[in-house]
Structure 1
Amino acid sequence: MKRLLTVLVVLALLGTGAAFALLAWQRHLPDATPPSTAPVSLQRGAYLAAVGNCAGCHTARGGERLAGGRPIPTPFGTVFSSNLTPDATGLAGWSAEDFWHALHLGQSRDGRLLLPAHPVTNTTLVTREDADALHAWLQAQPAVNAPRRAHELRWPYGSQLAIAAWRALFFSPGTYQPDPARDVTWNRGAYLSQGLAHCSACHASRNTLGGDAGAADFRGGLLAGLGWVAPSLHDPAEAGVQRWPDATLQRWLRDGHVDGHAALGPMGEVVLGSTAHLDDADLAAMSTYLRALPEQAAARPEAAEPDPRRVERGAKLYAEHCASCHGADGEGRRDESGALAYPALAGSRLVTQGSPANLIRLIERGGYAPATPGHPRPYGMPPFAGVLGADDLAALASHLRQSFGHRAGEVDTVQVLRLRAAAAAH
């Protein structure tokens, strides 16, 4: 925040002319990308829209598909997604060039700079050919009248000057450039993961201004307003898959469930709306890229000596509420087919992550893997928010993080209350 405020103060001191110069610079970034000469395929556009999970953000709960209006919490207030249907309140009249500028330059048809909640640092990497196919498909969808809802951002974050200052610090347009030292499969996986699938939109490590180290930043961080943490994809102890067999990761990306590993919370939505739709070649490419990410241990707080009374209380709660499904020793439980229906908690990365946020959210709200063609009837875990108070949640989470051979930090009541407050604030 200080960095952005410093930029704004400097601009104020320099005068109105400097502010207009900054806006003019950001609104007229050079773009030498020629229009695509490839035939436009609606089928290709539909596939790209699924890979990018466009409907995930641009469909409000209970609303018309792609008509926007979904609230997106940020540390700076709430943003409401736009209407992508070809209605006058959406993309009616938008040319392929207009749409390309929105993806590549983060600029609306009327010249406005789009808020960084639109993952422009990712979509700028998309090729013109893919942008044109996506535009054609969106223009072929049913039009829905859904006027844009005003964003609810604290001053000055919604102003064009603040957006221009943010972009000057963190955004540089440019399509994906293949790495010549890597093969075609790795480069395809990098293009998907960094670009249209925008993995770093969640898994980046963001600073106080929401800036990151680029589209290949997967160091993880708290998802503002959701109470979940997107764990690091560089750390095998968090969410890194460097040591997973290729077939295991491909199945997990496609089905959302494999060998007791389930996609839960926001990641379940990503699998259902995006990676479950990948074709075999792109599934293999994304798996190749993610498995090749460099390993880097995430920072972890020093585990304090556990409070024996809290752990004892948590053990009683586990026996009462959890052991019947997850086993007395956290070993999990298999169904009639021999598959691990209820995951093992012993050795679970979700349990032992540096932050207990996901574990607490899972206990509170329950866990439901996505229902996909490869795993159509997943087992679910009921929510315990109405059963366990903050003290009990802290005790149960502490027991899980200190049992079954785990040596993760314990959880206190204050942490639970802070996570609840952060989620309730949005």
Structure 2
Amino acid sequence: MSRTLRIVLVLIALALAAVAVLLFLRPGLLPRTGAAPEPSASTQLIKNGEYLARAGDCVACHTVPNGPVFAGGRAMATPFGNLYVPNITPDDDTGIGLWTADEFYRMMHTGVSRDGKLLYPAMPFASYTQVTRADSDAIFAYLMSMPPIKQKNREHELRFPFNNRELLIGWRTLYFKEGEFKADPAQTVEWNRGAYLVKGLGHCAMCHTAVNALGGSSESKAFEGGMIPNQNWYAPSLTSNREAGLGEWEIAEIADLLQVGVSHRGTVYGPMAEVVYNSLQYMTDVDAKAMAVYLKGLPQKDGAPLPTSQARLVNPEVMEVGRKVYVAQCAMCHGAEGKGQPPSFPMLAGNRSITMATPVNPIRMVLNGGYPPGTQKNPRPHGMPPFSHILDDEQVAAVVTYIRVAWGNSGTPVTPTQVNDLRKLLPE
């Protein structure tokens, strides 16, 4: 066979092959492979565990900012000294790699670690005890699917006698009630789902309930508000319309505040902004609504009418200083009459977070400024600049006093000493 003929035959073969490929790739002739395979049961379990771990905001404590996720090491300041959060990645030596699902559930349910040690209540086992076994197993499966990080756990630095874990027996007797969540048959499925998330994984009562000198709280005073230890922010009462009581809010407004970080009724800042950023923004619309339904249903514990404006208690000179500062620094966003531009810039007139008995939060906002969290539904939130470097203690006290008593607000005056006490906490 001549060389020319061989070349011709090769070219014909290549052309036929190209035609065959083109015909095969025609959409109508593509092979039928069927629907995508269903995710495996283990994949679904891990995905559910990731969702539940977010609902529990595990990352907030178990991850050092900009550090490996869940590798621990974060210092948690308490009135008794520093606690250092443990590594919960599946590393065999320094994490939970050798744990079983049974041991993990025992820790969540009873507050007892794998080695038998009693956990300090900074770990919210008093709330997590309500988590079901199925949800505990899902969270465990998710954590075990994470990359193992070898990072040795750091010993706690607690003062005597609080470094003696045996004292926790007394604390547990007073403040810990073990038991999984039990649905209330008198309530709806939606209400019960919200109660489970709020009281269990969400551990909302840890901040919104006053803590006593022993680091415990009374169940009868749950959600009545309290200072967050060592953070110097006040978590308002959810059962009082004088604070953040939700009885007058619409369900959608509560759900927006939880999931988006802003609503036409208010905006979250400080520690609550972190909770929304790390956790609540990832809740499904159904779960956010369920939490809102439960929170709105909390019994309101003060039926007394709200007090009237306290402007008469304010020195007129202080009031004028506050007015001038407000006009110069605040009115552009919050309006001359404090009506704001919700939801971007919250209203101040009639805003009960401004008029609560403690002025800590409005003072902190004027000094520190801050942003609501950037969330999936509000990725570019409007923020407030800090004024600590512009205004002195007298000016801050005057402007906070002004917004607490102007426009019919029922707050009380603020002193420069109160401002200075919080200014001392600012980072240098």
SS of the residue 2:248 aligns to: coil
Q: What percentage of aligned pairs have identical amino acids?
A: 42
Q: Please state how far the C-alpha of 1:298 moved relative to its aligned partner.
A: 10
In 2, the alpha carbon distance for the partners of 1:215 and 1:174 equals 17
- The normalised TM-score by structure 1 is 0.84
C-alpha RMSD of matched pairs (Å): 2.3
Over 3 Å counting, the alpha-carbon distance change for 1:298 and 1:83 in structure 2 is farther
Q: Higher relative CO (CA 8 A, sep ≥ 6), structure 1 or 2?
A: 1
Change (3 A) 1:319 1:329: same
Written as runs of structure 1 = structure 2, the 5 A alignment for 1:60-139 is 60-87=64-91, 88-139=93-144
Q: Which amino acid aligns with 1:351?
A: I
Question: Relative to structure 2, which stretch is displaced further, 38-47 or 282-291?
Answer: 38-47
Indicate conservation of the 8 Å contact 1:67/1:85, yes or no: yes
**Partner residue in 1 for 2:50:** 46
Q: 2:212 aligns with which of 202, 207, 230?
A: 207
Distance 1:94 1:77, change over 3 A: same
Conservation of the 8 A alpha-carbon contact between 2:267 and 2:343:
no
Confirm whether residue 219 of structure 1 aligns to residue 224 of structure 2. yes
Aligned counterpart for 1:268 among listed residues 270, 273, 279: 273
Where in structure 2 are the equivalents of 1:144-163 lying within 5 Å?
144-163=149-168
The reply to whether residue 186 of structure 1 matches residue 188 of structure 2 is no
Hey, what does 1:320 align to over in structure 2?
328
Asked if the contact 1:107/1:114 (under 8 Å) is kept, the reply is yes
Determine whether 1:251 maps to 2:256: yes
CA contact (8 A) 2:54 2:282 kept: yes
Structure 2 CA distance for partners of 1:200 and 1:240, relative to 1, 3 Å: same
Equivalent residue for 1:362?
A: 365
Whether contact under 8 Å (2:266, 2:343) holds in the other structure is no
Specify the code of the residue in structure 1 equivalent to 2:386.
P
Q: Which of 317, 339, 344 is the aligned partner of 1:341?
A: 344
CA deviation profile, 1:55-114 (whole Å, cap 9, x unmatched): 011111221111112222222222222111112212120111111111111011111100
| Residue 169 (str. 1) matches residue 174 (str. 2) | yes
Tell whether the 8 Å contact from 1:103 to 1:123 is kept in structure 2 after alignment: yes
**When the two structures are aligned, how many residues end up with a matched partner?**
382
Q: Deviations over 1:156-175 (max 9, x none)?
A: 11211222221121112111
Q: What is the CA distance between 1:213 and its match in structure 2?
A: 2.1
Matched with 1:281 is 286
Q: Cα deviation per residue 1:197-256 (whole Å; 9 max; x = unaligned)? A: 110111112222121123981111001121210000101231222221112222222211
User: Does structure 1 retain, via aligned residues, the 8 Å contact 2:258–2:281?
Assistant: yes
* Cα distance change of structure 1 residues 149 and 298 upon mapping to structure 2, 3 Å threshold: farther
Do the aligned residues in 2 keep the contact of 1:200 with 1:215 (CA within 8 Å)? Answer: no
Cα deviation per residue 1:321-358 (whole Å; 9 max; x = unaligned)?
Answer: 1112212221224xxxxx64222211112211121111
Contact 1:200–1:216 (CA under 8 A) maintained in structure 2: no
- Go from structure 1 to structure 2 and tell me whether the alpha carbon gap of 1:383 and 1:218 turns closer, same or farther (over 3 Å shift): same
Deviation by residue 1:250-286 (Cα, 9 ceiling, x = unmatched)? 2222211121521111111111112111123222211
SS at match of 1:313: helix
2: CA distance between counterparts of 1:62 and 1:316? 41
Structure 1 residue ranges without an equivalent (≥5)? 1-37, 334-338
Query: What TM-score, normalized by structure 2, do the two folds share?
Result: 0.84
Q: Which ranges in structure 2 are unaligned for 5 or more consecutive residues? A: 1-40
Structure 1 residue matching 2:241: 3-state secondary structure: coil
Is this contact kept in 1: 2:253–2:265, CA < 8 A?
no
Query: How much has 1:391 moved relative to structure 2?
Result: 2.3
Letter of the 1:311 counterpart: M
Secondary structure at 2:281's aligned position in 1? Answer: helix
SS at match of 2:183: coil
Distance 1:370 1:400, change over 3 A: same
Of structures 1 and 2, the larger Rg is shown by 2
The answer to whether residue 385 in structure 2 is matched with residue 382 in structure 1 is yes
Q: Is the Cα contact below 8 Å between 1:205 and 1:219 reproduced in 2?
A: yes
Give the whole-Å Cα distance in 2 for the aligned partners of 1:254 and 1:279.
9
Local SS of the residue matching 1:79: strand
Distance 1:232 1:269 in 2: 19
Amino acid at match of 1:352: T
Bigger drift between 259-268 and 50-59 goes to: 259-268
State whether residues 347 and 406 of structure 1, in contact with CA within 8 Å, keep that contact through their aligned partners in structure 2. Answer: yes
Structure 2 letter corresponding to 1:307? N
CA deviation string 1:369-426 (max 9, x = no partner): 11112111111111112222222221111111111211211111222233345x469x
- Kept in 2: contact 1:219–1:298 (CA 8 A): no
3-state secondary structure, aligned to 1:72: strand
Partner of 1:407: 410
